[in-house]
Structure 1
Amino acid sequence: MNPLQKRWAKPIAALALAGALAACGLPQLGPNKKQIFAGSVQREGDAFVVEVNDRVTRATAVAPALGFSSNFISAGLLISDIIRPGDVLGLTIWENVDDGLLASTGVNATPLQEVQVDSDGYIFVPYAGRLRASGNTPNQLRDLITEKLRDQTPDPQVEVRRVAGDGSTVSLAGKVGGQGVYPIERPTRTLSTMLAKAGGVTIEPDIAQITVIRGDQRGKIWFQDLYNNPRLDIALRAGDRILVEEDSRSFTALGATSQQARVPFTSQNLSALEALAQVGGLVANSSDPTGVFIFRNEPAEIANAVLGRNDLQGAQRMVYVLNLKQPNGLFQARDFVIRDSDTIYVTEAPYTQWSKTISLIAGSLTPVASAKTLTGG
């Protein structure tokens, strides 16, 4: 070894050792691939680390199933002509005389604008008395009133209109065009038509969920499913409460992504590729495309299917690994379904830590070089 080599051998070795030590303590966005795999059950850790393939994407492709129970589906349409307690009726009575029982002089028509059916199903009509309205159609009630008045005024003519009523209304709230109480009428006897009557939803249809509360029963459906499949529509009942709200599901993005945040779902079904796109994708100069991880607590039945087992019980910690550099990596990321509360973590590329080490070493050399310059060495 020549004198020059001897002169620089120790400083170089010291710097190399300092770089190695510095690399161990350099700041990281989170664990690297090696550290995640070291925590697997296969290596006496507490989570199953599984590389995603076509079989895994099929086993985990579980979308949230929303829909109404058979009690909602089997309920028939209300016959809006049947009068019920709480309904409000409009009556008009014509008399074929100048000075009638109800009409004033010179007027032969008497309007009774709002006649409410009481809780027992009866209404009161002057000179006809207390009549049972509930259970009759407007035409049947018209005949009944006409019969009662015929003996007191010649050739009475009666019109009965069904205005509305507390007994045949539903309430709409949430992200809907017009919140309020709406009567169930012939054009609005189903959920879809009632939503249309209220001005539709005011949020993106892809993330709109419709909840119907009927007594102690509750049903929920995706807005898009309701309109794409008319068979899922249901008949409304008096007192139904309809709530329109935004999908509350979200995932968390961490690591070497353009954005680290809790991110709401933007569609009913969200793939890993779409989720990465939502946060701006990978970072070109630091992300490792072979280290895209999805952390999830998986139900036992799905975990057993993924792992080819049948002995697991209870929720299992699962870590799914996507390698975007594989020939089918992007296809698998496109097919892998993200679920509520998932955590997507992208590791840093190995050279990123090495670059940090080089920067640290270069930074430590600068003061040394400056000192030599100042001393004239």
Structure 2
Amino acid sequence: MFRLIPIMLVLLLPGCFLAPGMDMQTDGDLTEIELPTMKGGQLVKEKTRIQPITADLIIEREVARRQAVNNLPPMDETRTSYRIGPQDRLQITVWEHPELNDPGGEKILPELAGKVVDDNGDLYYPYVGTLHVGGKTVTEVREELTRELSKYFKKVKLDIRVLSFQAHRVAVVGEVRNPGIVAMTETPLTVAEAISRAGGATQDSDLNNVALARGGQLYKLDVQALYEKGLTTQNLLLRDGDVLNVGDQKDSKVYVMGEVGRQQAIQINKGRMSLAQALAEAYGVDFNTSRPGDIYVLRAGDMQPEIFQLDAESPDAMILAEQFPLQPHDTLFVGTAGVTQWSRVLNQILPGSFTAIMSQAAMMGM
């Protein structure tokens, strides 16, 4: 019977191509199959290039990442002071002229006191008539009103303050405790302040993934870097109409498949996970059954697929793995060794008996 084993093995070699599980097939340095890809605004089918994970690739990607982080809207210094707008309620106090002030003074409820700026940005005041205050600072309105009242009174002294801020608002949504509208006040409203006034971020928030929508453009902010590294460039001053969306980390996972200790979906913590960390979370590469030279990262992107390959035949390649950052929804695939595929086919065809036959053959020196 043992003499038949070599013949059986030769006959079963083609079964390697029918091995259970997946195997990464390539066409040179391209994928074997065509993938949907967005090019020039059109969806086309084409093969994707497989990029080796090297030091050059990591440097190139890190430079691009830092440029993206700094791709922020320009700072408008003229907007640091509050600008009065429609529906703001102003309290105007003219000293030594009580007839010009609100009757009842401090006894009036704040929501009823003062004068409301109309939708055109105008305000009516005795003796002066209609005064356009929209878009002006409190200081500018004080100076203009003082100048106009000085035509009728001597040594006019007055004070203006905003009782109710209604004109300028931003929306804070996503993973914050109290999503909704945040009013802008005399104190310039920053990203960190807006998140704080919305109750702070929730436990499920991804502060590495905060999006700012402004003027039809979307900007990505790394608020976690602001908190942990003091990267103040991420703490932008907000403008009226801005929408701030704090991301959800529950959807930030990578998927590990192939010849690893345990195939699973792994949660990315605080927006950071390296290829080495993902392999460790999956209980490492099974070097008995895998091809360490075929570790792939598959990234679907937004119809912009990318595939990266790490050759981990040498242990120092794990330094590259630690320096290669993963992104949410990446799929990590570790290839199967050819001998493992062959063995699995034989085990399917000769269940139970195959292992025993090979053991006996080994003992007899075959």
Partner of 1:372: none
Distance 1:55 1:103 in 2: 70
Tell me if 1:326 matches 2:311. Answer: no
Tell me if 1:86 matches 2:87. Answer: yes
Partner of 1:208: 208
Partner of 1:348: 336
The AA in structure 1 aligned to 2:240 is: A
Q: Does the 8 Å contact 2:90/2:116 carry over to 1?
A: yes
**Once superposed, what is the RMSD of the aligned Cα atoms?**
4.6
TM-score (norm 1): 0.65
Distance 1:171 1:87 in 2: 18
Q: Does the 8 Å contact 1:116/1:123 carry over to 2?
A: yes
Distance 1:253 1:12 in 2: 37
Equivalent residue of 2:321, what SS? Answer: helix
TM-score (norm 2): 0.67
Number of residues of Structure 1 aligned to a counterpart in Structure 2: 330
The AA in structure 2 aligned to 1:209 is: N
CA deviation vs aligned residue, 1:297-320 (integer Å, no higher than 9, x gap):
89xxxxxxxxxxxxxxxx897551
Distance 1:283 1:222 in 2: 36
* Identity among equivalent pairs (%): 22
Equivalent residue of 1:276, what SS? Answer: helix
- By how many angstroms is 1:328 displaced? 1.0
Moved more, 249-258 or 12-21: 12-21
Return 5+ residue gaps in structure 1 as ranges. Answer: 1-7, 299-314, 367-377
Distance 1:238 1:43 in 2: 47
Partner of 2:116: 116
Q: Does the 8 Å contact 1:270/1:338 carry over to 2?
A: yes
Partner of 2:28: 40
Partner of 1:291: 294
Which of the residues 252, 274, 279 maps onto 2:277?
A: 274
The AA in structure 1 aligned to 2:81 is: I
Equivalent residue of 1:253, what SS? Answer: strand
Equivalent residue of 1:231, what SS? Answer: helix
Task: Within 5 Å, give how 1:298-309 maps onto structure 2.
Answer: none
The AA in structure 1 aligned to 2:319 is: F
Return 5+ residue gaps in structure 2 as ranges. Answer: 34-46, 356-366
Q: Does the 8 Å contact 2:88/2:116 carry over to 1?
A: yes
The AA in structure 2 aligned to 1:29 is: G
Partner of 1:31: 23
Equivalent residue of 1:113, what SS? Answer: coil
Distance 1:50 1:180 in 2: 43
- By how many angstroms is 1:255 displaced? 1.3
The AA in structure 1 aligned to 2:352 is: G
Task: Within 5 Å, give how 1:1-377 maps onto structure 2.
Answer: 8=1, 12=5, 16=9, 20=13, 23-24=15-16, 27-31=19-23, 36=25, 39-41=27-29, 52-59=53-60, 61=62, 64=65, 65-67=67-69, 71-80=73-82, 82-90=83-91, 111=108, 113-125=113-125, 130-134=130-134, 135=136, 137=138, 139-140=142-143, 143=146, 160-203=160-203, 207-227=207-227, 228-246=230-248, 251-260=254-263, 265-283=268-286, 286-295=289-298, 318-323=307-312, 325-339=313-327, 342-353=330-341, 355-356=343-344, 357=346, 361=350, 363-364=352-353
Aligned pair in 2 of structure 1 residues 140, 275: CA closer, same or farther (>3 Å)?
same
